[in-house]
Amino acid sequence: MRILILSFYFAPQNTMAAHRLTRLAAYLREQGHEVRVVAARVSNVPTDPDGDAGDIMVVRTWVPSLDLPALLQRSLQRLRLRRKDEGNAAGLAQAGPVVRFGRRLVWLYRNLLLWPDERMGWFLSALPLTLRLCRHWKPDLIYASSPPATTLALACALRRLCGVPWVAEIRDRWADDPYTSRPGWRWRLEHRLEDIILSSAHGLVTVSQTWAEFYGTRYRVPTAVVYNGFDPDAYCHADGADGEAGVLRIVYTGSVYAGRDPAPLWQALGAMGNDAEAVRVEFYGAKRSEVLPGAARHGVAHLVTVQEYVAHVDAVRLQCGADILLMLQWDNPSEAGNLPGKLFEYLGARRPVLALGYDVGEMARIIRERGVGLFANDPQEIARQLKAWLVVKRETDCIQVLSKTAGDSFSRDEQFGSLEEFLEKVLSPKKT
As a whole number, mean pLDDT of residues 386-401 equals: 92
Question: What's the mean pLDDT when you consider all of the chain?
Answer: 88
Say whether pLDDT at 236 is over 90: no
Helix/strand/coil percentages in the chain, nearest 5: 50, 15, 35
As a whole number, mean pLDDT of residues 11-34 equals: 94
Burial-class residue 151 by CB neighbours within 10 Å (0-12, 13-18, 19+). Answer: buried
**Residue (of 179, 149, 182, 168) closest to 334 by Cα position:** 179
As a whole number, mean pLDDT of residues 193-213 equals: 96
Q: How much is the pLDDT for 181?
A: 80
Say whether pLDDT at 99 is over 80: no
Of 53-62, 94-103, 127-136, 319-328, the one with minimum mean pLDDT is: 94-103
- Name the pLDDT band for 278 (thresholds 50, 70, 90): very high
Contact 377, 359 (CB under 8 A): yes
Q: What is the pLDDT of residues 308-342, one digit of tens each?
A: 888 888 999 999 999 999 999 999 999 999 999 99
As a whole number, mean pLDDT of residues 179-205 equals: 93
Say whether pLDDT at 387 is over 60: yes
Q: How much is the pLDDT for 352?
A: 96
The dihedrals phi and psi of 317, each to the nearest 5 degrees, come to -60, -40
Contact 52, 32 (CB under 8 A): no
- Name the pLDDT band for 82 (thresholds 50, 70, 90): low
Rounded distance between C-alpha atoms, residue 2 and residue 197, angstroms: 22
Instruction: DSSP letter for 13, please.
Output: B
The whole-model pTM stands at 0.89
Of 244-248, 273-277, 289-293, the one with minimum mean pLDDT is: 244-248
Three-class SS state of 110:
helix
Q: How much is the pLDDT for 98?
A: 58
**Residue (of 415, 411, 414, 424) closest to 3 by Cα position:** 424
Contact 158, 134 (CB under 8 A): yes
CA distances in angstroms from 361 to 256, 366, 375, listed in the order given: 19, 9, 11
Q: What is the pLDDT of residues 288-313, one digit of tens each?
A: 999 999 999 999 999 999 998 888 88
Rounded distance between C-alpha atoms, residue 26 and residue 222, angstroms: 24
Say whether pLDDT at 97 is over 90: no
As a whole number, mean pLDDT of residues 11-28 equals: 93
Say whether pLDDT at 353 is over 90: yes
Q: What is the pLDDT of residues 123-159, one digit of tens each?
A: 999 999 999 999 999 999 999 999 999 999 999 999 9
As a whole number, mean pLDDT of residues 36-57 equals: 81
Q: How much is the pLDDT for 428?
A: 83
Say whether pLDDT at 32 is over 90: yes
Amino acid identity for residue 155 in this structure:
A
